[in-house]
């Protein structure tokens, strides 16, 4: 059955089946092509008649993931200009007052889209929540510091999309006063950036940051160095006019070549220290401290300015960094001899490995490395943000997703919790294996639904004294007070 609603730009036709209506590929901003690719987002032009919203929309230009990662999670690449679009799932387009979840996808700010099956919002709609998943500009288009162009265009798209939600979600039965943003990886980092940003205030009520980091930002000067390398790769002058004259395939090829150059030659003098340190030497594009949208490192803003915090769920997977070390083959190069040489590249005293090794007597050096960098990149920032949120008087709920995939060497890696959150296990067998536990998906999906509805996911809030963390696992989840506290303290001493 078809369902028609009116949104900014005109009327759209979605499909309703089993009590759930879905509207796919609705443009929330004008197509950012040509010179507009490097401008702030603009309102969508009105269309005549009723526009079909029954197929997934285009995605921002990007290359497929390399084979090891592609085999686990797939890749994105739907051609078309109107890639600033949203998908909406609702249980009642004619209703009112429903809680709203807005999903921001991950992909290291260079890949990903709202078109993935594991991001299908129908299970949330089944349980009474309106879900809006958004696309935003990526890579060169969204985050390159092009002279003459506004910074943080991808984050500006996200804010523009949240404004669209405020103006239009009532048409889908949603309550604009009860919006929760949530995202994973680069999407989780975006969530933290939006919490800290003065330009996003009032656009959401709560937030969920999955596998996030509040330190992954670049200075404007360092981001400019990446843009200059891009201009060299393209054979153009580094300005908005010449970047805007490049076609999407040209930009994609330059983006790939610069990413490879950064990985093979991570020289801070060439790329900038903040790119190398905060991007771990593998991320070419980061949100930029611009004094406006991002006034400072988000983790520092939330520590210093209590009024910026909001009710929050924040957490990580227990073995995040295995996703980056084992599928790529990098783990083979991490031995007892090389581990002390690798850790200083991440700003760590090699002595920190002694504590992690003592707690894992049978672990390989690669396993110890993954545990340390998991905590450095994800766990420690999540804890700091939870501490700041709780100190400000807002509820903070902390979790660790500990269930381990049956796919060889993945464990409880990065991305693993996402299909559980969306209750889309059937679409995730290449990541989870074929026998992932449905009761665990029921549990974590229900917790996110509860939080979006009334702010309580169902486990004890975090406070600096008890430091309660919900461990999601099968056959039984449980709460733990300050898990692996000795490692947390050793890591903080090491990076101080």
259: nearest Cα among 226, 212, 219: 226
Q: Look up tokens 């504590």; give the residue.
A: 355
* Residues designated as active site: 185, 320, 414
Q: In angstroms, rounded to a whole number, what is the distance separating the alpha carbons of residues 313 and 90? A: 23
Q: In angstroms, rounded to a whole number, what is the distance separating the alpha carbons of residues 93 and 389? A: 34
Q: Look up tokens 């940051």; give the residue.
A: 209
C-alpha distances (whole Å) from 167 to each of 11, 188, 190, 240, 282 are: 14, 24, 21, 31, 38
Q: Look up tokens 């500009």; give the residue.
A: 137
Which distant-in-sequence residues (6+ apart) come within 8 Å of 226 by Cβ? Answer: 144, 145, 218, 258, 262, 271, 272, 275, 284, 285
Q: In angstroms, rounded to a whole number, what is the distance separating the alpha carbons of residues 131 and 118? A: 13
Give one DSSP letter per residue of 22-68, joined into a string.
Answer: EEEEEESS----GGGGGS---PPPP-SSEEE--S-----S-PPPPHH
Alpha helix stretches (DSSP H) within 422-495: 429-432, 438-454, 485-495
Burial grade of 368 (CB within 10 A; 0-12, 13-18, 19 or more): buried
C-alpha distances (whole Å) from 26 to each of 110, 111, 112, 328 are: 22, 20, 17, 36
- Read off the tokens for 362: 């049978």
Running DSSP on this structure, what letter comes out for residue 167? Answer: H
C-alpha distances (whole Å) from 249 to each of 197, 245, 282 are: 32, 12, 22
Q: In angstroms, rounded to a whole number, what is the distance separating the alpha carbons of residues 288 and 298? A: 11
C-alpha distances (whole Å) from 85 to each of 23, 263, 453, 482 are: 11, 32, 25, 41
């Amino acid at each position: 059955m078809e369902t028609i609603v009116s949104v900014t730009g005109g009327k759209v036709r979605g499909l309703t089946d089993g009590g759930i209506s879905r509207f796919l590929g609705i443009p929330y901003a004008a197509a950012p092509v040509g010179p507009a690719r490097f401008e702030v987002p603009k309102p969508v032009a009105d269309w005549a008649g009723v526009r079909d919203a029954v197929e997934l929309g285009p995605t921002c230009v990007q290359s497929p993931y390399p084979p090891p990662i592609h085999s686990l999670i797939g890749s994105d690449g739907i051609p078309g200009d109107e890639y600033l679009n949203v998908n909406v799932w609702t249980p009642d387009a004619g209703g009112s007052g429903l809680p709203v979840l807005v999903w921001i996808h991950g992909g290291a700010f260079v890949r990903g889209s709202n078109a993935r099956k594991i991001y299908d919002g129908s299970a949330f709609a089944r349980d009474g929540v309106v879900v809006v998943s958004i696309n935003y500009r990526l890579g060169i288009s969204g985050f390159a510091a092009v002279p003459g162009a506004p910074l943080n265009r991808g984050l500006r798209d996200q804010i523009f999309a949240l404004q669209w939600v405020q103006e239009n979600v009532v048409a889908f039965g949603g309550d604009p006063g009860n919006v929760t943003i949530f995202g994973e990886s680069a999407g989780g980092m975006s969530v933290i950036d939006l919490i800290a940003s003065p330009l996003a205030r009032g656009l959401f009520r709560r937030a969920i940051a999955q596998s996030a980091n509040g330190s992954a930002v670049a200075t404007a000067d360092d981001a400019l160095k990446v843009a200059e390398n891009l201009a060299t790769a393209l054979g153009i002058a580094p300005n908005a006019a010449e970047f805007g004259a490049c076609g999407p395939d040209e930009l994609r090829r330059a983006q790939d070549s610069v990413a490879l150059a950064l990985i093979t030659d991570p020289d801070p003098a060439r790329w900038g220290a903040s790119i190398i340190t905060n991007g771990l030497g593998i991320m070419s594009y980061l949100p930029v401290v611009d004094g406006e949208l991002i006034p400072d490192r988000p983790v520092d803003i939330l520590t210093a300015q209590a009024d910026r915090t909001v009710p929050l769920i924040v957490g990580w997977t227990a073995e995040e960094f295995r996703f980056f070390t084992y599928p790529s083959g990098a783990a083979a190069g991490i031995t007892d001899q090389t581990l002390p040489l690798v850790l200083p590249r991440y700003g760590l005293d090699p002595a920190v490995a002694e504590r992690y090794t003592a707690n894992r007597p049978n672990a390989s050096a690669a396993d110890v490395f993954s545990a340390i960098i998991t905590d450095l990149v994800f766990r420690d920032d999540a804890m700091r943000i939870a501490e700041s949120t709780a100190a400000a008087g807002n509820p903070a709920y902390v979790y660790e997703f500990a269930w381990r995939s049956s796919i060889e060497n993945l464990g409880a890696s990065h991305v693993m919790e996402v299909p559980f959150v969306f209750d889309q296990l059937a679409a995730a067998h290449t990541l989870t294996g074929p026998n992932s536990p449905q009761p665990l998906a029921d549990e974590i999906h229900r917790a996110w639904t509860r939080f979006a509805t009334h702010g309580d996911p169902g486990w004890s809030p975090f406070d600096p004294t008890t430091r309660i963390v919900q461990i999601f696992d099968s056959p039984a989840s449980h709460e733990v007070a300050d898990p692996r506290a000795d490692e947390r303290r050793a890591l903080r001493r090491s990076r101080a």
